[in-house]
Amino acid sequence: MDNKKYVYLFNEGSEDMRNLLGGKGANLAQMTRLGIPVPFGFTVTTEACNKYYEDGKVISKDVKAQVDAALETLEKKTGKTFGKGPNPLLVSVRSGARVSMPGMMDTILNLGLNEETVEVMAKLTNNPRFAYDSYRRFIQMFADVVMGVEKKLFEGLLDEVKEANGYKFDTDLTADDLKGLVVKFKELYKKEKGEDFPTDPAVQLVEAITAVFRSWDNPRADVYRRLNDIPSSWGTAVNVQEMVFGNKGNTSGTGVAFSRNPSTGEKGIFAEYLMNAQGEDVVAGIRTPEDISSLEKRNPAVYKQFIDIVNNLETHYKDMQDMEFTIEDGKLFFLQTRNGKRTAQAALKIAVDLVEEGLLTKEQAILKVEPKQLDTLLHPTFDQAALKKADVIAKGLPASPGAAAGKIAFSAEEAKERHANGEKVVLVRLETSPEDIEGMIAAEGILTVRGGMTSHAAVVARGMGACCVAGCGDVKVHEEERYIEVGGKKYTDKDYLSLDGNTGNVYGEAVSTVEPEISGYFGTFMGWADEIRKLKVRTNADTPRDAHTAVKYGAEGIGLCRTEHMFFGEDRIPAMREMIVAKTEEQRRKGLAKLLPMQREDFIGLYEAMEYRPVTIRFLDPPLHEFLPHADEDIAALAKEMGLTFEDLKATVESLHEFNPMMGHRGCRLAVSYPEIAEMQTRAVIEAALEVSGKHPEWNVIPEIMIPLVGEIKELKYVKDVVVKTAKAVMAEKGKEIEFKVGTMIEIPRAALTADEIAKEAEFFSFGTNDLTQMTFGFSRDDAGAFLGDYYDKKIYESDPFAKLDQTGVGKLVKMAAELGKSTRPDIKLGICGEHGGDPSSVEFCHSVGLNYVSCSPYRVPLARLAAAQAQVKNPR
Ligand code: PEP
Ligand code: MG
């Protein structure tokens, strides 16, 4: 006995006990307090769920005893008896976690029925049809959700009876039909489970509660939790509630209601109901529900009461409510209320309206919109009706949001060509590399078999705002034979695929898409977020196009320009390759000299796009072999183009091969070996800045040069000296001075550990948490996706550390480095430019450790602005 209270009657709880009672339980308790007609019941707590798992998946005696005691109270309160006449108590059992969680166990209604109680109910209500209708529903629900017998088997039997009798609706079934169906349902159950359907209501109840607890850990719920940052330690509560019946006849009914329109946010109650029906009928679509307005004629008193309660609940919760209600013999009951799920458009409108109606402050309203939801506002989405009809053929990681449909293209080159010919294509690759960039731009969406959330494809796609599903192991690519295989079926370049970048779903057909609409509410709402937040939001952008997009979405600067992305264009790569295969410094300088004007133009473009906003330019980072071809035929073609022999070029390519390129010759190590690369880049930056500030002195352009992959102060100093010397030389040549800053990325643990020293040279730090995560965990950001699934299954990790910052480990390094950096240089600028800069919980963390800004891909800028404002509301600094 641990003396803990595991079960709360509805009149013992309140809305602030969400963590213990779950959202549904807390709201049922609150509604009871508010005097709203709620059928009485009790909640088994989330702690009981955790205990169930701690005890090795058994419900303890303590919990059972408290459930029994609560049942007894419920019996007294209702004057009914569980499992017996003269007035049998029937209950519903529903799951209810702290936040509503799709994927968990659905509702079970009418629990407590067996041969004996069904007969009593039939006599008591003088309505055998109702009693047997309730019983057959119970058997089906219990068998399905508790015991895993497929629902469609039961539905098949129901359809047979309807067909045999020529019935159109379920309501056409007679009491005798339903009685016969109950017998068939039980036979089916026995055949499937090898045992009789449980007749003891006490057993039914314990089984149902156990099933709810079990469902907390089912694979669908696990995936949902991971995507939504819900820790498994929260557990779920279970609500047991006296049944009221909407299927008792024509003065009974059931329905769902929203206090405002969940799709548009429009003010006004949005509700539908069905007479003579039970819960699931309304959503199942078997009969078309009626609009609530018809209830006014049917029962004006109930209608008025209904409207009053809906309005009261919305005013009480200060948010749009999603409610379930039942009318039993002309008496109204509310079965649950919760903050309603809504589209992003509706979320913004409702938040703004609630402030204007005086129900919320701006700060409170800011917390009402999920940052991640904003994504859907900026990307095309699937037409929901079309999506419902489409089959999911595979599932990967939702690497970059949006919806894309097109025919399959197997290479970047092909995607580019077919796109140029007016075709819509989806690029399908084992994985992508920087060479694929143009194909990625041309494609509607990108599907990769390998790679995680920070794989090349994922990062680049997010940057471009292109839809991407990554790490989709269900797809087998036969590039040579030009087909892919999914679930035993072949798809060729004539076949369509549709990708959902929000869910990772892949469809084997063309699903139509719709363009997003950005309303005026967006501007108002985001304006409030900007007033509130302390953290600045910059963007990761490599092109003027991305920069413009980001500014449109509110970016306040560029936090990371990855200069390597500039070298993959058709016009650049030959010079880049020439530079790489050079055998002498002189040859290398020749290649670099060709790159210089292009690079200078790039930077001019960026400075012009960003105007007065700061721009951080990071020097060349990736291993050089990424720029070279690897297949023999490509090497041969390039050798010819460059006037080299095949053998010579092949030898160079091979010499650049590294066993672990991510920890190889990259980042500032390139500049240590070949300082002339840093010289060229410095020259390009300073010349561009001088030119732009000559035209626009009012912008006060101050170049920020960022040295990547630093692990040692002397290494930074060496490269910085090259930068400073070159910058001074350029300024002397031009006869003009300009202020500039040199900083570093903190992306190697050693840099974080020695950040006080590094800060002696670095004027700013930008946390490169992609590499910092890779190197702190010691697993490759490109390969970890292949095995992280096992870690989630085994609950070793709950989320992808490349998507959501690991605050315990990597975060500790960030916090420490920020403090050490400030100890040396109190005014040091601190930012983050890893992918985490666009993840809400990570943004919150950055706020809490005092960073100055986060930098993220253009399409995530609004999300980061909102997350930063929410961080300030929750934890003011
Ligand atoms: C990082 O490592 O977090 C970073 C931003 O650099 P990149 O992703 O280009 O390695
Ligand atoms: Mg990096």
As a three-state string, the secondary structure of 852-877 is CEEEECHHHHHHHHHHHHHHHHHCCC
The helix/strand count (H/E) of the chain reads as 35, 33
**Could you tell me the CA-to-CA distances from 526 to 349, 369, 371, 540, 858 in Å, in that order?**
12, 11, 11, 20, 15
Nearest CA to ligand 1 atom 6: 768
User: Looking at residue 516, what is its pLDDT?
Assistant: 74
pLDDT surpasses 90 at 503: no
Q: What is the DSSP letter of 288?
A: P
Interatomic CA distance for residues 831 and 490, integer angstroms: 47
216's CB contacts (< 8 A; 6+ apart) are 49, 95, 97, 104, 232, 235, 236
For the cut 70, the answer to whether the pLDDT of residue 285 exceeds it is: no
pLDDT at 249 over 90: no
DSSP 314-354: HHHHTS-EEEEEEEETTEEEEEEEEEPP--HHHHHHHHHHH
Pocket test for ligand 1, best of 563, 833, 851, 854 (most atoms within 8 A of CB): 833
DSSP state of 145: I
CA–CA gap between residue 431 and residue 460 (Å, rounded): 12
Q: What is the DSSP string of 376-422?
A: HHHS-EE-HHHHHHSPEEEE-EEEE-SEEEEEEE-SHHHHHHHHHTT
Ligand 2 centre distance from Cα of residue 709 (Å): 7
Cα of 441 from ligand 2 centre, angstroms = 22
**Residue 866 · residue 366 · CB < 8 Å:** yes
- For residue 570, count other CB atoms closer than 10 A to its CB: 8
Give the position, in ligand 1's atom list, of the atom nearest the Cα of 770.
3
pLDDT higher than 90, residue 384 = no
Q: How far is the CA of 175 from the centre of ligand 1 (A)?
A: 68
Determine the 3-state secondary structure of 284 from DSSP. helix
Sheet holding 7-9, edge to edge: 7-9, 41-44, 236-242, 91-97, 108-111
Q: What is the 8-class DSSP label of residue 289? A: P
Atom of ligand 1 nearest to the CA of 836: 3
Q: Are 59 and 206 in contact (CB under 8 A)?
A: yes
Residue 515, class by beta-carbon neighbours within 10 Å (0-12 exposed, 13-18 middle, 19+ buried)? exposed
Question: In 10 A of CB 57, how many CB atoms?
Answer: 11
| Catalytic residue, candidates 49, 561, 668, 833 | 833
Checking if the pLDDT of 463 tops 80, the result is: no
Q: How far apart are CA 683 and CA 600, in angstroms?
A: 8
Provide the pLDDT confidence category of residue 819 given band limits of 50, 70 and 90.
Answer: very high
* pLDDT at residue 385, rounded to an integer: 87
Query: Has 543 been labeled as part of a binding site?
Result: no
- Closest ligand, as measured to the CA of 560: 1
Tell me which residue has tokens 């399959």: 408
- Range among 62-76, 154-168, 259-273, 638-652 with highest mean pLDDT value: 62-76
Ligand 1: which of 616, 747, 835 to mutate, most ligand atoms within 8 Å of CB?
A: 747
Q: What is the three-class DSSP state of 54?
A: helix
SS3 455: coil
Task: Find the range with the poorest average confidence among 133-147, 271-285, 697-711, 775-789.
Answer: 271-285
833 alpha carbon – ligand 1 mean position (Å): 7
Element (H, E) at 605: helix 585-610
Instruction: Give the per-residue pLDDT at 282.
Output: 63
Q: Looking at the predicted structure, is the pLDDT value of residue 506 above 70?
A: yes
Q: Count how many residues are written for the chain.
A: 877
What residues line ligand 1, using a CB cutoff of 6 Å? 560, 562, 621, 747, 768-771, 833-834
**Residue 213, CA distances (Å) to 3, 49, 111, 200, 261 in order:** 21, 6, 17, 20, 33
315 is in an annotated binding site: no
Q: How far from 366 is each of 242, 262, 548, 870, CA to CA, in Å?
A: 37, 18, 26, 6
Q: How far does residue 564's CA lie from ligand 2's centre (Å)?
A: 12
Range 253-339 classified under CATH 3.90.1170.40: no
Amino acid 223: pLDDT:
74
Residue 435 predicted with pLDDT over 90: no
Is 456 catalytic? The answer is: yes
Please state, in angstroms and as integers, the Cα–Cα distance from residue 465 to each residue in 4, 227, 283, following that order. Answer: 51, 19, 35
Residue showing tokens 């390094």? 813
Q: Which ligand is nearest to the CA of 837?
A: 1
Q: Under 8 Å CB-to-CB from 585, ≥6 apart: which residues?
A: 674, 676
Q: Which residues, including other chains, have CB under 8 Å from residue 800's CB and lie 6 or more apart?
A: 226, 452, 453, 788
Are the C-beta atoms of residues 439 and 413 closer than 8 Å to each other? Answer: yes
Q: Find where tokens 């219990």 sit.
A: 142
| pLDDT above 90 coverage of the chain, percent | 75
Lowest mean pLDDT among 143-157, 268-282, 646-660: 268-282
Question: From the CB of residue 240, how many other CB atoms can be counted at a distance below 10 Å?
Answer: 25
- Per-residue model confidence (pLDDT) at position 342: 84
User: Residue 618 Cα, ligand 2 centroid: separation in angstroms?
Assistant: 10
User: Nearest CA to 510 among 612, 425, 576?
Assistant: 425
pLDDT at 787 over 60: yes
- The hierarchical CATH code for the domain 533-623+658-874 is 3.20.20.60
Least confident of 516-530, 716-730, 748-762: 516-530
- Give the Cβ contact number of residue 182 at 10 Å: 21
Q: What is the Cα 394 distance to its own chain's centre? A: 18
Query: Given strand 475-478, what is the order of strands in its sheet?
Result: 475-478, 483-486, 489-492
Residue 770 counted as an annotated binding residue:
yes
For β-strands 513-514 and 81-82, DSSP reports them as unpaired
Mutate to test the pocket of ligand 1, among 453, 568, 770 (most ligand atoms within 8 A of CB): 770
Spatial neighbors of 47 by CB under 8 A, at least 6 apart, are 4, 6, 20, 235
Which residue, judged by its Cα, is nearest atom 1 of ligand 1? 768
pLDDT at 432: 80
Residue 668 in this model has a pLDDT that exceeds 80: yes
CA of 844 to the centre of ligand 1 (A): 20
Whether a cis peptide bond, with omega within 30° of 0, leads into 697 is no
For the CA atoms of 561, 562, 564, 566, the dihedral, rounded to the nearest 10 degrees, stands at -40
Q: Token digits for 540?
A: 């990761």
pLDDT interval class at 2 (50, 70, 90): confident
User: Tokens at residue 526, please?
Assistant: 């985001």
Q: Do 803 and 837 meet the contact criterion of CB atoms below 8 Å apart?
A: no
Residue 465 has pLDDT above 90, yes or no: no
Average pLDDT over residues 513-518: 77
Q: Quick one: pLDDT at residue 284?
A: 52
Place of tokens 């007294």: 76
More confident residue, 106 or 170: 170
Kindly state the helix (H) or strand (E) to which residue 490 belongs, with its residue range. strand 489-492
Structure confidence at residue 283 as a pLDDT band (50, 70, 90): low
Residue type for position 120: V
Cα–Cα–Cα angle for 503, 340, 352, nearest 5°? Answer: 100
When pLDDT is cut at 50, 70 and 90, the band that residue 281 belongs to is low
Instruction: Identify the pLDDT of residue 221.
Output: 79
Options 456, 625, 836, 847, the catalytic residue: 456
Superfamily (CATH H level) for 380-514: Phosphohistidine domain (3.50.30.10)
- Delimiting residues of CATH 3.20.20.60 domain(s) in the chain: 533-623+658-874
Q: Cα–Cα distance between 121 and 174 in angstroms, integer? A: 16
pLDDT at 722 exceeding the cut of 80: yes
CATH number of 51-57+70-242: 1.20.80.30
Q: Which ligand 1 atom sits closest to the C-alpha of 771?
A: 2
**Cα distance between residue 623 and residue 674, in whole Å:** 13
Mean pLDDT, to the nearest integer, of 786-806?
A: 91
- pLDDT tens per residue across span 311-341: 999 999 999 999 999 999 999 999 999 998 8
Whose structure tokens read 């018809």? 294
- Mean predicted confidence (pLDDT) in 261-272: 87
Candidates 621, 662, 707: which one to mutate for ligand 1, based on the most atoms within 8 Å of Cβ?
621
Separation CA 449–CA 436 (nearest Å): 15
The predicted pLDDT at position 454 comes to 64
Does residue 308 have a known ligand-binding role? no
Mean pLDDT of the 693-715 span: 98
Per the structure block, which two tokens stand in for 341? 């799920």
The answer on pLDDT for 280 being more than 70 is no
For residue 467, indicate whether it is catalytic: no
Asked if the bond preceding 86 is cis, omega within 30° of 0, the reply is yes
Residue 768 assigned to a binding site: yes
Atom 4 of ligand 1 has which residue's CA nearest to it?
Answer: 768
**287: pLDDT strictly greater than 60:** yes
Which ligand has the minimum distance to the alpha carbon of residue 710? 2
Q: What's the rounded mean pLDDT across residues 531-543?
A: 97
Of 867, 875, 869, 716, whose CA–CA distance to 805 is shortest? Answer: 867
- Among 261-270, 679-688, 751-760, the range scoring the smallest mean pLDDT is 261-270
Q: Where in the chain is the domain with CATH 3.50.30.10?
A: 380-514
Question: CA-based angle 96:97:102, to the nearest 5?
Answer: 85
Written in H, E and C, the secondary structure of 242-276 is: ECCCCCCCCCCEEEEEEEECCCCCCEEEEEEEEEC
Instruction: Give, in degrees to the nearest 5, the angle at Cα 861 between 855 and 867.
Output: 90
Q: What is the rounded average pLDDT for all residues in the chain?
A: 92
Give 175's pLDDT tier (boundaries 50, 70, 90): very high
Residue 629 has pLDDT above 90, yes or no: no
User: Taking the CB of residue 692, how many other CB atoms lie within 10 A of it?
Assistant: 22
Contact 771, 736 (CB under 8 A): no
Looking at residue 348, what is its pLDDT?
95
**Residue 278: pLDDT over 90:** no
